[in-house]
Structure 1
Amino acid sequence: MLTVALVLLYAAALVVLFGVFRSTSRLPLERRRPSDAEKQTTLSRTSGATTDFLSDLLSRRGWTQPLAASLEQAGMKISPAEFLVFVISGSVVALLVGYLIAGLGLGLLFAAASPAFAVALVNIRQSKRRAAFAAQLEDTLQLLSGGLKAGHSLLRAVDAISREAESPTNEEFARIVNETRLGRDLDDALDQAAQRMRSDDFSWIGQAIAIHREVGGDLAGVLDEVAETIRQRNQIRRQVAALSAEGKFSAYILMALPFVVVGILSLTSPSYVARFVETPLGFGLIGVSAVMLIIGGVWMKKVVSFKF
């Protein structure tokens, strides 16, 4: 049984490596040069058929657009179908790893936790991307104000930011520029970008630009005032982050401690851990522990999180 499990584990790892992260060109075959045409192998045909099936399934369920938007906001350059294949493959690997450690019960627990881990990963990447956008907003305003003072139009200044700023600011401003070129109003594009990034500061910038387009005035001076306000808010935000860092670090340690203890006991005394997945009482204790861990984590997050 151990040999079979190892074989399945390596097979699942190969699916992840070659099925999900395969290098495919986004250019259609009919538009490629003959020398650039890819040779269809059995693995590529199988992975392509799998992603096509999952893509059709997501489209029928109406999940393609929300999932694609979440991946885009997280900065992940993969399609929803490829992400779903990654989650399924990761669940299979987690199932086999848990089975090798302590049997089928732990394997099923790991497999059930894999989708939650994938969702958490996407949310973490979204949070980091939004935090980076907020941190770059002060420099963004300086570039925008400098472009206006140099005599450029508003759209020209926005286009300059899309080429000169760092990621993710340049990506968001490039999207704004592309949307305006397709006929969308600039105010709507800015408001939509503020909603995507969940940035109140950028929403203020959009409102200032909208007011300027209606009544006129010195937009560069207004943006300088907004930049000063955002600078002060960022200073307060950094102070709050520094003061709450100790509590957050303690929360991370306490959240990771149960998993570390279980991992050490699985290596040193597998029979002791196996009792938790062999009896109904053991599964009940695991469920109670998971609920208590979630409640404690949410509680500590509320304690060390501040909104201002």
Structure 2
Amino acid sequence: MDLQTRIALTTGTALLTCVLAVAGVHAYAAGRARRQALVERLAATGQLTGPGGRRRRFAGLDRRLRRTALGRRLGLRLTATGLDITPGEFFVWMLAAVAGLWLVGQAALAPFFGPIAGLLGVWAAVQFLNWQRQKRIERFINQLPELARILANAAHAGLALRTALGLAAEELEAPAGEELAKVSHQLALGASMDDALGELAERLPSRELVVLVTTLVLSHRAGGQVVSALRNLTETLEERKETRREVRTQLAQVSMTSYAVPVLGVGSLFLMNGVQDGALDRMTGSPLGQAAVLIAFGLYAVGFFLIRRMSRIDV
């Protein structure tokens, strides 16, 4: 092989290496961009939460749980609460809490109270999700007047509804900003305005949000005086916000009473067992005593739900 051939071969190899290096860098950058876009899209739809998609525990259990109807409902409920936790993680923590309460009830009271304490753990976990969801709904309702005001100003400036929703998502804090960001992302992916806003109303159900969604959907379909409608709705939402605050303040004592009733019942069991050691063992050692305990717990539960029902005022 002469010198000219070697020079040509070396030059060609160097050029090919440079081309492959440039192509590799381009493929790497494109892959990172696609991954980041996927993470942001999953985070916007609630399938992946946490900044940058933190590493999740119990991923295998989470995948299997999401295939079931219970897992799908649990995922929707967790999305509505805004908690940074997957259905698999919540299920494992709930089982751990149930096992702990089972052991505590069995050791501190009597073996008969172990399963009852476990059931109370499941009920407490469900109530915790309901409380978190309701708290997020209340925070969102409090932001609705400002949301309607932003949308009215954007419509008055001639902006389209999609653009106005994106602007409101940037201006408002959580949870309204996060929920509107999900709506904007769904619209960018090709979802219709009716479907995106309808899913928002399903995640955070409330009369105020239904009225706002209905106004936006009708204005998007048929046009009309959306600016005046949104401004009138802003005033109405402000009034309802103050009314809800007054009603919640008036019913605060009743709500505390509903929780105090079952707490007193459970406290009486500890008091009875403390006064006479082994009293609960002897009481639950017979079918009659077990039936009496179950009836007592049932009456406490009925009292709790009746107090909660009577103190519920829809505004």
Matched, 1:145 2:152: yes
Q: Tell me which residue corresponds to 1:129.
A: 136
Rate the CA distance shift 1:157–1:269 in 2: closer, same or farther, 3 A.
farther
Task: Tell me, yes or no, if structure 1 residue 203 matches structure 2 residue 202.
Answer: no
Amino acid at match of 1:182: L
Distance 1:272 1:78, change over 3 A: same
- Aligned CA RMSD, in angstroms, stands at 2.6
Identify unmatched segments of 5+ residues in structure 1.
1-22, 29-43
Deviation of 1:150 after TM superposition, in Å, equals: 4.2
Residue of structure 2 equivalent to 1:262: 269
CA distance in 2, matches of 1:27, 1:250: 40
Cα distance change of structure 1 residues 103 and 298 upon mapping to structure 2, 3 Å threshold:
closer
Compared CA separation, residues 187 and 57, structure 1 to 2 (3 A): closer
Amino acid at match of 1:161: A
Query: How far has the Cα of 1:56 moved from its partner?
Result: 5.1
8 Å Cα contact 1:137/1:202 also seen in 2: yes
In the alignment, the residues of structure 2 paired with residue 228 and residue 165 of structure 1 have an alpha-carbon distance, to the nearest angstrom, of 18
CA 1:246 to 1:56, structure 2 compared with 1: closer, same or farther past 3 Å?
Answer: closer
Q: 1:118: which partner in 2?
A: 125
Q: Distance in 2 between matches of 1:112 and 1:270?
A: 25
From 186, 199, 202, the equivalent of 2:193 is 186
Q: Taking structure 1 as the reference length, what is the TM-score of the superposition?
A: 0.77
1:26 deviates by 4.1
In 1, Cα distance between equivalents of 2:151 and 2:275:
60
Is the contact made by 2:261 and 2:300 (CA closer than 8 Å) also made in structure 1? Answer: no
Assess, with a 3 A threshold, how the Cα gap between structure 1 residues 27 and 255 changes in structure 2: closer, same or farther.
closer
**Which residue in the other structure is 1:233 paired with?**
240
Q: Secondary structure at the match of 2:146?
A: helix
User: Aligned letter for 2:281?
Assistant: A
Query: Residue 294 of structure 1 aligns to which amino acid in structure 2?
Result: A
Shift of 1:268: 4.7
**Structure 1: which amino acid aligns with 2:107?**
L
Equivalent position to 1:74, from 76, 81, 88: 81
Q: Which residue of 1 aligns with 2:314?
A: 307
Question: Given that residues 190 and 203 in structure 1 are in contact (C-alpha distance below 8 angstroms), is that contact kept between their aligned partners in structure 2?
Answer: no
**What's the offset of the Cα at 1:102?**
2.4
Query: Partners of 1:277 and 1:248 in 2: how far apart?
Result: 32
1:169-196 residue CA offsets vs partner (Å, 9 max, x unmatched): 1121011001100101123211221122
* Aligned mates of 1:274, 1:175 — CA distance in 2: 54
Q: What is the 5 A alignment of 1:288-303?
A: 288-303=295-310
Flag the 1:172–1:59 CA change in 2: closer, same or farther, 3 A. Answer: closer
5+ long unaligned stretches in structure 2: 1-49
Aligned to 2:36: none
Per-residue deviation, 1:127: 1.3
SS of match in other structure, 1:270: coil
Cα distance in 1, alignment partners of residues 151 and 274 from structure 2: 57
**CA deviation vs aligned residue, 1:28-84 (integer Å, no higher than 9, x gap):** 8xxxxxxxxxxxxxxx9xx74xx51x3354245333321110111122222211111
Q: Distance in 2 between matches of 1:210 and 1:26?
A: 33
Equivalent position of 2:184 in the other structure? 177
In 1: Cα distance, 2:274 partner to 2:147 partner: 51
TM-score, with normalisation over the residues of structure 2?
Answer: 0.76
Name the amino acid aligned to 2:280. V
Indicate if the aligned counterparts of 1:187 and 1:209 stay in contact, CA closer than 8 A.
no
Amino acid at match of 1:198: P
With over 3 angstroms needed to count, the CA separation of the structure-2 counterparts of 1:103 and 1:249, relative to structure 1, is closer
